[in-house]
Amino acid sequence: MLTFIHAADIHLDSPLHGLSRYEGAPAREIRQATRKALDNLVNYVLEHRIPLLLIAGDLYDGDCPDFQTPLHFSAQMSRLREAGTRVALIRGNHDAQNRMTKSLRLPDNVFTFSAARPATWKLEDLGTAVHGQSYDREAVLENLALNYPDPVPGMFNIGLLHTSLSGTPEHSGYAPCTLNQLLAKGYDYWALGHIHRHEILHRDPPVIFSGCIQGRHIREPGGKGCMRVDVDPSGRINIERVELDVLRWQHMELDVSGLKTRGAVLDLVSRELENISAARDSEKLLGLRLTLKGTTGAFSDIMHDFAGLQAEIRNLATDISGQTIWVEKIFNQCTPALDWEEIKASGTALAHLAGYMQALEQDPELFKSLDLDLTELRAKLGGTGVELPDLDDPHTRQEYVSRCRDMVMTLLARDMSSTGNGS
């Protein structure tokens, strides 16, 4: 019987920039999340007496600013050595050999694969051979898997690889290869890293991205962890996902269609927060992003004091969850409940503006005539987390012009009605 753990993309002590911009952000808990997730990983290995741990690259997020991070990792590996657990480790693009200037000699139970060439680590007592190669630099663009050694006869063969496979929109194309090329190696299990989303690419033999052990931002939502693999004497493999994260991210879209007042919107938000709080693991901190959507009569009130609404929602989250739900951001994608046909038939300035903005939605050439140059604005927004839409895409352009039209027309209609000037 063989049991091992496949983990990857720990990004230990990853620096999370810009937390000061978020109101009430639990900065300390977020910054310590990857370290606590590593501790959970080691504790699980020790509790279940697992003899082998695989780390498929990106242990670190980059060169460490000091020795505190490698000291913590080394201490955890010493705990595993005392229990007799071996650790197989490869470097990925974030902790490639030429990027790391602060490193320590690790305990002798840790085998770090060389970046010079692929190698095999034989564990005779476990009947296991682990094959792997580290990155020597960040951008490894060649297919490393092609040169991995042949499987060792009579042993359970594991391939340890940090790769994007054929590439994904979210990740750079490092150590590219195909699934068929991996299967052709004849290994019994492929332990992959680099893609932070858990994914089983093939079941027999297993080819698996374990995903990261801790989500670091809203683009890494849901539970994160590692794979536990049990191999019985006949060679049959059982895989189980083990969650290790201490902070979880979630994006909730809330439809406020038909609601007429700000109070009704807050009541709906309160009910949804109570549902989330009741259903989740109260030990984990939740980073929640909320997007309000739908056509609502409360649009004007929402727009008039959106900062106040955000504060109310954050206050609700704190009150309901006991400070275990942190609202990271709130987006307003609502549209106003307006009668466009009535506005266009009114013959007022609003009618002319409504007709023009509708034409912008439908006529790409008219939109191009605006000659919008967003280069300078994009540069100023760089690093803020705010992204401008791709207005060259017809669907995106129509969506954003429609939203702008709704907001502008609602505000103008409200202002004109308050002054009695509709001409």
Look up the pTM and report it: 0.82
Q: Model confidence at 394, in pLDDT bands (50, 70, 90)?
A: confident
pLDDT tens across 31-77, in order?
A: 899 999 999 999 999 999 999 999 999 999 878 778 899 999 999 99
State the architecture of 2-245 in CATH terms: 4-Layer Sandwich (3.60)
| pLDDT > 90 in the chain, percent | 60
Identity of the amino acid at 90:
I
* Model confidence at 415: pLDDT above 70: no
Task: Give the range with max mean pLDDT: 5-14, 329-338, 340-349, 386-395.
Answer: 5-14
Q: How many CB atoms lie within 10 A of CB 34?
A: 27
pLDDT of residue 89: 97
For the chain, the maximum distance between any two Cα atoms, rounded to a whole number of angstroms, is 88
Residue in the structure block whose two tokens are 């989250």 = 317
Neighbours of 80 (CB within 10 A): 22
Mean predicted confidence (pLDDT) in 327-340: 84
Region 67-96: what's the mean pLDDT?
94
Query: What's the whole-number mean pLDDT along residues 270-285?
Result: 89
List phi, psi (to 5°) of 336: -80, 155
User: For residue 384, what pLDDT is reported?
Assistant: 46
* 53: Cα within 13 Å, side-chain hemisphere: 30
Question: What's the half-sphere exposure (Cβ side, CA atoms, 13 Å) at 268?
Answer: 21
State pLDDT tens for residues 119-148: 999 999 999 999 999 999 888 889 999 999
Of 218, 211, 187, 242, the closest CA to residue 4 belongs to 242
Residue 422 scores a pLDDT above 50:
no
Cβ atoms within 10 Å of 274's Cβ, excluding its own: 13
Question: Is-contact 331 292, C-beta < 8 A?
Answer: yes
The Cβ of residue 308 has, within 10 Å, a number of other Cβ atoms equal to 12
Average pLDDT estimate for 89-112: 86
The predicted-structure confidence for 141-174, as pLDDT tens digits, reads as follows 899 999 999 999 999 999 999 999 986 555 557 9
Q: Do 183 and 202 touch, CB atoms closer than 8 A?
A: yes
Say if strands 189-193 and 156-162 run parallel, antiparallel, or are unpaired: parallel
**C-alpha to C-alpha distance for 164 and 92, rounded to whole angstroms:** 11
Q: Is the peptide bond before 364 cis (omega within 30 degrees of 0)?
A: no
Mean pLDDT is lowest, of 77-81, 201-205, 395-399, for 395-399
pLDDT for the residue 423: 40
Average per-residue pLDDT for the chain: 87
Whether residue 51 contacts residue 3, with contact meaning beta carbons closer than 8 Å, is answered with yes
Mean pLDDT of 264-278: 96
CA-based nearest residue to 148, from 177, 117, 123, 113: 117
**Where does the chain hold its CATH 3.60.21.10 domain(s)?**
2-245
Q: Which of 54-68, 177-191, 372-386 has the lowest mean pLDDT?
A: 372-386
Q: What is the pLDDT of residue 385?
A: 47
Of residues 344 and 188, which shows the higher confidence score? Answer: 188
Position 115: which residue type?
Answer: A
CB 302 within 8 A of CB 262: yes
* Cβ(215)–Cβ(222) below 8 Å: yes
pLDDT of 151:
98
SS3 annotation, the chain: CEEEEEECCCCECCCCCCHHHCCCCCHHHHHCHHHHHHHHHHHHHHHCCCCEEEEECCCECCCCCCCHHHHHHHHHHHHHHHCCCEEEEECCCCCCHHHCCCCCCCCCCEEECCCCCCEEEEEHHHCEEEEECCCCCCCCCCCCHHHCCCCCCCCEEEEEEECCCCCECCECCCCCCCHHHHHCCCCCEEEEECCCCCEEEEECCEEEECCCCCCCCCCCCCCCEEEEEEECCCCCEEEEEEECCCEEEEEEEEECCCCCCHHHHHHHHHHHHHHHHHHCCCCCEEEEEEEEEEEECCHHHHHHCHHHHHHHHHHHHHHHHCCCEEEEEEEEEEEECCCHHHHHCCCCHHHHHHHHHHHHHHCHHHHHCCCCCCHHHHHHHCCCCCCCCCCCCHHHHHHHHHHHHHHHHHHHHHHHHHHCCCC
More confident residue, 341 or 186: 186
Residue 411: the pLDDT is 63
